[in-house]
Chains A and B, each alone.
Chain A
Amino acid sequence: MDDKGCECKQRFADPDNQEPLLGILERYAGEKGALIPLLQDTQEAYGYLDEKIMRALAKGAGYQLSQVYGVATFYTQFRLEPIGEHLIRVCHGTACHVAGAELISEEISNFLGVKDGQTTPDMKFTLESVMCVGACSLSPIMIVDEDTHGKLKPANVRKVLKKYRGGNGEKEE
């Protein structure tokens, strides 16, 4: 469990700034079938796929916007909305399901007041259900940013999340 504080505020580029996108377009120029890596890198740079950015990407890489949007909505990895400072991913693989993952998600929803896929109004947390992360022996699991919290019980979910509530994205210890 890496204890590095993340540099959340500056981690993503603003969708009005097209400079990172131009760099990405250049990286894949001339490569056939590169739409998925293009979108992956773009999401990494901007945190999500903003409409403006998708339009610019389509134009720059020579795709129809419908193609870009079609691929972006087909794969679960792509997000069309910005995410909060901390991304909570609750594993819903089979082992986690059998171990009570639904109760974990429910408890987080109760605590944060958001449903699966939503972000808290203060942009602190985004809650996401994910399929198997492959750490089945630790089920049920949630991953907050890069930290894995395994063998969870609904009762200790709040305690874990409170650690991430501090200012500047730093964890309170």
Chain B
Amino acid sequence: MSTGGKNKLVLGYGTCGIAAGATAVKDALENELATGKYDAYLDIAGCMGFCFREPIVEVTDPDGRSVIYGDLSPKRVSRLLEAVAGGEVIEDWVVRRSDEPGAGEGDFLANQHRIVLRNCGNINPESIEEYISTGGYEAARKALTSMTPEELIDEVGKSGIRGRGGAGFPTGTKWGFARKAKGEQKYLVCNADEGDPGAFMDRSVLEGDPHAVIEGMIVAGYAIGATQAYIYCRAEYPLALKRLDIAIAACHEWGYLGQGIFGTDWDFDIKIKKGAGAFVCGEETALIASIEGKRGMPRPRPPFPANEGLWGKPTNINNVETLAAIPWIIANGGDRYASVGTEKSKGTKVFCLAGKVRRSGLAEVPMGYTLRQVIFDVGGGVREGKEFKAVQMGGPSGGCLPASLLDTLVDYDAITATGAIMGSGGMIVADSSTCMVDLARYFLSFTQEESCGKCVPCRIGTKRMLEILARICSGEGEPEDLERLDILAGDIKAGSLCALGGTAPNPVLTTLKYFRNEYEDHILRKKCTAGVCPALITLHIQEDICTGCGACAKICPVEAISGEKKEPHAIDADTCIRCKLCLSRCPEEAIYAE
């Protein structure tokens, strides 16, 4: 990319970067650059994917060589700028360099295949000009000026792309239904209600490349015959909402939204609807109810939204990631997209790597990669050299897979066969310090809270399952509880209208299947081997390590820790409530749970 003869600095300025302190780095950079001492300028971009090294700056010199630096702070800014001015590379801070792909964390990117994230981290998401400079809006222009809606639907069908929101329904087929539905007014909805805890792909795409989503919507709207569209986005994503606002306003100025767009007689406009916090609204019919201003409760289907959706009109709903891939598919052809991936899962999938994985961040890989490739080659394996225990995929609707399934392919059907789901793309890695029973309890407490209450098996069943799991975690589980969980799980799946209830038991079923020994440890041996469940652990101080600093005794809320100054301390197990505050407070790491 041309930098205009100067050094170009691009700061990662998505939510992850800002949370890590990018604003202070931005201020410091701006102040230093304002002195005029340096032949460089600053721009911003969305998430580059390297969330684990934020705040991040990419430096591109006039020859086009780029170095990405991580872990920046205001204090490091002047050192950075001096190095840039002197043409020097600060090896210790390098995350990636273009001239040495193996340096730093280079293989994090090298092992990816970026279609949806093609612009994320590369362009300023608040500038429509930068998006256009990458060929942006050419796909929409091509679609509207030289293709018929049917040709578009064919092209998307050929690509084989399936809905990236989790269910994996073929997008081309879905568009075809909405196209054929009878009705003068049709609607398009972009589902950006990313409520799955541990998933932030949609947020990153909206923050990093909002125009890609809008362009995808223009194409989709034209293909199905919808002139009005909505983006239903979580209110918890203020930066994504702000960048969407900016992008939509720019599109109106450029004639890409509004009346007679791209010089044709086609009208198309987008309105933003802020979600108010309800996981169930990711479900299509609940989402529609929410846009209509009602409680977000699903309804029976049929009629499907394609025939009777928003305000009773034909409505097509696509996920953010799906829509962001559409311009690429139209520009490069469905066949090219379909050349990536497996037989029934085409293209790429964006994953959010989090939990105990070393490189926690945003990664896009071709379908057909193994989970091992995603977690180890891209994600760098487990943190602190610990052993891999499980990967949780698909959030509250998904499941936990053990090490023996690491060679499972990233493919809708292969993952579903394990009992987990592809889901929206959250991947949480667990190591030996994660208790699988506690993790199952955590997800059930989530779905129990988020159940809309309409279907009794979901409303009451998740509550009963949660009670049983809580009982097991507190050491009061009975051997019969495992069968009770199994029966309840079957009833909830069978008796729920929507996917929330239909998949809520998955975290329990998969942990029961793959980590049954942990349930048995809790119930029969009254042990939590991961050292997580308070009722089943005891805390000890290692005498030979304890320096007697007294930090633990000071923080203990029940005064269970005693000892002379500078002498090893001890914990009174009868008084101890196992809150583990001492464990995190100890500077010597002398306290352990067992």
Segment among B190-198, B300-308, B340-348, B480-488 that sits at the interface with chain A: B190-198
Is B293 located at the chain interface by the 8 A CB criterion? Answer: yes
Is B588 located at the chain interface by the 8 A CB criterion? Answer: no
Distance of A5 from chain B, by nearest CB (Å): 15
Distance of A54 from chain B, by nearest CB (Å): 15
Segment among A18-26, A132-140, A162-170 that sits at the interface with chain B: A132-140
Considering only CB atoms, which chain B residue lies closest to A94 in the complex? B198
CB neighbours of B354 from chain A (8 A): 94-95, 136-137, 139
B contact residues, range: 35 or more
Considering only CB atoms, which chain B residue lies closest to A132 in the complex? B197
What per-residue 1/0 map shows which CB atoms of B552-563 lie under 8 Å from chain A? 000101000000
CB pair B294–A71 under 8 Å, yes or no, is: yes
CB pair B237–A74 under 8 Å, yes or no, is: no
CB neighbours of B557 from chain A (8 A): 110
Partner of A94, one of B194, B292, B392: B392
CB neighbours of A107 from chain B (8 A): 581
How far, in angstroms, from A77 to B290 measured CA to CA in the complex?
13
CB pair A93–B292 under 8 Å, yes or no, is: no
Is A70 located at the chain interface by the 8 A CB criterion? Answer: yes
CB neighbours of B236 from chain A (8 A): 130, 133-134
CB pair A153–B198 under 8 Å, yes or no, is: no
Distance of A72 from chain B, by nearest CB (Å): 9
CB pair A40–B235 under 8 Å, yes or no, is: yes
CB pair A154–B19 under 8 Å, yes or no, is: no
Partner of A134, one of B237, B392, B555: B237
> Chain B at the A interface: mostly helix, strand, loop or mixed?
mixed
CB neighbours of B290 from chain A (8 A): 36
CB neighbours of A70 from chain B (8 A): 295
Considering only CB atoms, which chain A residue lies closest to B274 in the complex? A40
CB neighbours of B276 from chain A (8 A): 36, 39-40, 75-78
Most chain B beta-carbon contacts within 10 A, residue among A98, A134, A141: A134
CB neighbours of A103 from chain B (8 A): 579-581, 584
How far, in angstroms, from A33 to B203 measured CA to CA in the complex?
25
CB neighbours of A32 from chain B (8 A): 292-293, 311
CB neighbours of A1 from chain B (8 A): 18, 21, 23-24
Residues 37-93 (chain A) with a chain B CB within 8 angstroms = 37, 39-40, 70-71, 74-78, 92-93
The count of residues in chain A whose C-beta lies closer than 8 Å to any C-beta of chain B is: 45
CB pair B295–A71 under 8 Å, yes or no, is: yes
CB pair B203–A75 under 8 Å, yes or no, is: no
CB pair B196–A132 under 8 Å, yes or no, is: yes
What per-residue 1/0 map shows which CB atoms of A90-109 lie under 8 Å from chain B? 00111101111001001100
How far, in angstroms, from A134 to B200 measured CA to CA in the complex?
5
Is B503 located at the chain interface by the 8 A CB criterion? Answer: no
Is A35 located at the chain interface by the 8 A CB criterion? Answer: yes
CB neighbours of A36 from chain B (8 A): 273-274, 276, 290, 293
How far, in angstroms, from A74 to B289 measured CA to CA in the complex?
12
Given contacts A74-B278, A76-B277, A95-B428, contact A137 B52 (CB under 8 A): yes
Is B15 located at the chain interface by the 8 A CB criterion? Answer: yes
CB pair B237–A136 under 8 Å, yes or no, is: no
CB pair B584–A153 under 8 Å, yes or no, is: yes
CB neighbours of B361 from chain A (8 A): 137
CB neighbours of A153 from chain B (8 A): 584-585
Partner of B278, one of A75, A98, A133, A148: A75
CB neighbours of B426 from chain A (8 A): 94
Residues 417-433 (chain B) with a chain A CB within 8 angstroms = 426, 428, 430
What per-residue 1/0 map shows which CB atoms of B492-512 lie under 8 Å from chain A? 000000000000000000000
CB neighbours of B273 from chain A (8 A): 36-37
Residues 559-594 (chain B) with a chain A CB within 8 angstroms = 579-581, 584-585
How far, in angstroms, from A79 to B585 measured CA to CA in the complex?
34
How far, in angstroms, from A76 to B580 measured CA to CA in the complex?
30
CB neighbours of B195 from chain A (8 A): 131-132
Residues 106-124 (chain A) with a chain B CB within 8 angstroms = 106-107, 110
CB pair A136–B293 under 8 Å, yes or no, is: no
CB pair B434–A98 under 8 Å, yes or no, is: yes
Is B108 located at the chain interface by the 8 A CB criterion? Answer: no
CB pair B16–A137 under 8 Å, yes or no, is: yes
Partner of B295, one of A40, A74, A97, A110: A74
Is B364 located at the chain interface by the 8 A CB criterion? Answer: no
Partner of B292, one of A33, A74, A133: A33
How far, in angstroms, from A94 to B436 measured CA to CA in the complex?
12
Is B45 located at the chain interface by the 8 A CB criterion? Answer: no
Given contacts A40-B235, A141-B19, contact A132 B277 (CB under 8 A): no
Considering only CB atoms, which chain B residue lies closest to A91 in the complex? B197
How far, in angstroms, from A110 to B430 measured CA to CA in the complex?
28
Residues 439-473 (chain B) with a chain A CB within 8 angstroms = 439, 442-443, 446, 452
Additional pairs, 16, CB under 8 Å, beyond known A33-B292, A134-B199: A1-B23, A33-B293, A35-B293, A70-B295, A75-B276, A75-B296, A94-B355, A94-B392, A95-B198, A95-B354, A95-B428, A103-B580, A132-B195, A135-B20, A137-B51, A154-B580
Could you tell me which B residues sit within 8 Å of A by CB distance? 15-16, 18-21, 23-24, 51-52, 54, 194-200, 203, 235-237, 273-279, 290-296, 311, 352, 354-356, 360-361, 392, 395, 426, 428, 430, 434, 439, 442-443, 446, 452, 551, 555, 557, 579-581, 584-585
List the 3 closest pairs (A to B, CB-CB), nearest first: A75-B276, A137-B51, A94-B198
Could you tell me which A residues sit within 8 Å of B by CB distance? 1-2, 32-37, 39-40, 70-71, 74-78, 92-95, 97-100, 103, 106-107, 110, 130-139, 141, 148, 150, 153-155
The 10 listed contacts between A and B (C-beta, < 8 Å) are A1-B21, A1-B23, A33-B292, A36-B290, A110-B581, A133-B236, A134-B199, A136-B198, A136-B200, A150-B20
